[in-house]
Amino acid sequence: MAEVHPPRRRLSTLILLAAPAALAVSAVIGDYTGTAGHPAIMLRPGLVLVAVAAFLQGAAWLIARRLESATAFAMLGIALVVDRTLAGVVIIIVAGTAAWRLWSVVIRGRSDHGRGSARFLVPLAMLLLGSAVIVAASRGAAENVVGEPPTPPAAHAGTNLPSLYVLFLDGYPRHDMLQTRFGYANSPFLSWLAEAGFDVYPDSHSDYDWTRGTLVAMLSGEPYPEGERLGGAAELRRMRRLLGEAPALTSLASAGYETVTIRSPVVHTAGEGWHRVIDTGQINDFEIHLLAGSPLVAHTPLQSVVRAWLMDQHRDRVRASLAAVERIAERGTRQAALAHLLVPHTPFIFDERAEPADEFTDCWPRHCRFYAIYADDFGRSTEAYEAALVKQVRGVNRLITRTVEKIVAADPSAVVVLMSDHGARHSKADPEEHHATLLAARTPGHPNLLADEPVPDRLFERILDAYRASE
Ligand SMILES: [Zn+2]
């Protein structure tokens, strides 16, 4: 006769099975509360952590043959993977319960009641999951789906308008700054630009020294509210809305353009609202933030393994993003593309031959952020920072010249803009460098198109206006 469990027992089995996964999901939701990325960014790390929880629980059950012990073990494992404070709490509960049982059996001579730490850990997981959901909801995480659905490209708009490709090179210093601050003239690249028909704008600058300000000025034309605290989720969300509802996207669509953006790893810097959003799939900054909170990563030899993998991922994203631009240029449709490449911004991942470099981020995650900016943040000398930056700039030059050549070969009439959003910002004491930006543009038939205003503001629309006027 089959054994029939009473309903209460079945329920507790289900809850025990679900508790490690609930703990994992609560950590992901908790981290998500501080971001403005689309909710879908929780899916990948959430699934990975749930799989880790299930694996730990299954493996422990095979050894111990007791679901309560396997659950406690899996929760301890998840806590060690996701958060130092949580790991501390779980260790205290597990050790405390074990000590109490030992005391009862050995010292007081009672029979073991068999109840382990799971009876405390399971309610803890459910409590954490519930409060993570409530906190995320109360802080407006549900508003993270932002932006208007894109207007379809007008079918019979201007016929001779060229495709537009903007390679947004985050933190690329202006050439005079490269020379005076970093001692590198960048001559081979400047010669190549001239030969390839680019105008280089020596006075190019942005009102902003943060990516988001320049991006918003470029796409929406709105002055970005500098007064607000940088980094708060509400502020990031507002920025994403400005980017997702940017007038530039509507203007381009009504001029017959398909708008395409290739995302950087920074989840809040691309709103919806483009016809195509290409994410090349490597790790993003939300996931890096989750990893950075892991005591296993921070305090064990795993640090160097994970760090090297992150550097690889970061390199792969840059290469894959450039390959994506090359691919879309071959499609032969009229498009306006913005590829946000997080180079030569730190970390330093390329040497001067565009081969892998691996400098500076030893401090991650305990002493610096993965995308730390200032030389001071890395605890390294300014000279070492400057040398690494110059190598990275040279490596990036190699990569982008190859891509630009491919774009132009596929689409000879293409407008190509190489620009940065701010300088390298290596030193807080040098704001002039922060606002000096790279701006080089190939605008066939319209030489020096941006000379009157060498700024990022309304860039797409200004180019569009010039080409429309001459149609
Ligand atoms: Zn930037």
pLDDT at residue 442 greater than cutoff 90:
yes
Per residue in 281-330, pLDDT (tens digit) is: 999 999 999 999 999 999 999 999 999 999 999 999 999 999 999 999 99
Q: What does the alpha-carbon distance between residue 97 and residue 464 come to, in Å, rounded to a whole number?
A: 69
* SS3 state at 115: coil
CA of 209 from ligand 1 middle (Å) equals 8
* SS3 state at 376: helix
State residue 378's pLDDT score: 84
Least confident residue range of 27-31, 120-124, 265-269, 309-313: 265-269
State residue 106's pLDDT score: 85
Predicted TM-score (pTM) of this structure: 0.92
Residue 235: name the closest of 205, 207, 213, 219 by CA.
213
Which fold does the domain 164-469 belong to in CATH?
Alkaline Phosphatase, subunit A (3.40.720)
Rg (CA), the chain: 26
State residue 449's pLDDT score: 97
CA of 171 from ligand 1 middle (Å) equals 5
Query: b or e along 316-342 (b: 16 or more beta carbons within 10 Å of the residue's beta carbon)?
Result: ebbbebbebbbebbeeeebbbbbbbbb
Going by the DSSP 8-state scheme, the letter that residue 450 receives in this structure is: T
Tell me the average pLDDT across 61-82.
Answer: 95
3-state secondary structure 247-295: HHHHHHHHCCCEEEEECCCCHHHCCCCCCEEECCCCCCHHHHHHHHCCH
CA of 134 from ligand 1 middle (Å) equals 33
State residue 148's pLDDT score: 64
CA of 386 from ligand 1 middle (Å) equals 18
Say what percent of the chain tops pLDDT 70: 94
- Pick left, alpha or beta for residue 264 (phi over 0 → left; psi -120 to 50 → alpha; otherwise beta): beta
CA of 271 from ligand 1 middle (Å) equals 16
Strands 415-419 and 335-341: unpaired
Q: What does the alpha-carbon distance between residue 444 and residue 433 come to, in Å, rounded to a whole number?
A: 30
Tell me the average pLDDT across 255-280.
Answer: 90
Environment of ion ligand 1 (residues, CB < 5 A): 170, 211, 421
DSSP notation for 200-254: E-TT-B-S-SSHHHHHHHHHT-PPP-TTSPTT-HHHHHHHHHHHHT-HHHHHHHH
Per residue in 1-18, pLDDT (tens digit) is: 455 556 566 668 999 999
Per residue in 114-168, pLDDT (tens digit) is: 668 888 999 999 999 999 999 988 887 777 776 667 778 887 666 789 999 999 9
Cα dihedral: 131, 133, 134, 139 (round 10): 120
Give 244's pLDDT tier (boundaries 50, 70, 90). Answer: confident
CA of 140 from ligand 1 middle (Å) equals 25
State residue 241's pLDDT score: 83
3-state secondary structure 133-177: HHHHHHCCHHHHCCCCCCCCCCCCCCCCCCCEEEEEECCCECHHH
CA of 170 from ligand 1 middle (Å) equals 4
pLDDT at residue 253 greater than cutoff 80:
yes
CA of 374 from ligand 1 middle (Å) equals 13
State residue 92's pLDDT score: 96
State residue 195's pLDDT score: 97
3-state secondary structure 377-438: HHCCCHHHHHHHHHHHHHHHHHHHHHHHHHHHHHCCCCEEEEECCCCCCCCCCCHHHHHEEC
* SS3 state at 38: coil
State residue 362's pLDDT score: 85
Residue 243: name the closest of 273, 223, 267 by CA.
273
pLDDT at residue 113 greater than cutoff 70:
no
State residue 264's pLDDT score: 95
pLDDT at residue 230 greater than cutoff 70:
no
- What number of other Cβ atoms are within 10 A of residue 10's Cβ? 11
User: Which tokens belong to 315?
Assistant: 């390199």
State residue 4's pLDDT score: 56
CA of 205 from ligand 1 middle (Å) equals 13
Tell me the average pLDDT across 78-87.
Answer: 95
Phi, psi of 321 (to 5 degrees): -65, -40
Per residue in 427-441, pLDDT (tens digit) is: 888 999 999 999 999
- What number of other Cβ atoms are within 10 A of residue 62's Cβ? 9
Tell me the average pLDDT across 416-445.
Answer: 95
pLDDT at residue 42 greater than cutoff 60:
yes
CA of 333 from ligand 1 middle (Å) equals 29
Tell me the average pLDDT across 164-175.
Answer: 98
Going by the DSSP 8-state scheme, the letter that residue 117 receives in this structure is: T
Locate the domains of the chain by residue range: 7-144, 164-469
User: Which tokens belong to 453?
Assistant: 């205003």
CA of 422 from ligand 1 middle (Å) equals 6
Tell me the average pLDDT across 382-401.
Answer: 95
Least confident residue range of 33-37, 177-181, 274-278, 418-422: 33-37
CA of 16 from ligand 1 middle (Å) equals 45
pLDDT at residue 245 greater than cutoff 90:
no
State residue 1's pLDDT score: 47
How big is the chain, counted in residues? Answer: 471
CA of 151 from ligand 1 middle (Å) equals 28
* SS3 state at 345: coil
Burial class (CB in 10 A: 0-12, 13-18, 19+), 109: exposed
State residue 419's pLDDT score: 98
CA of 18 from ligand 1 middle (Å) equals 41
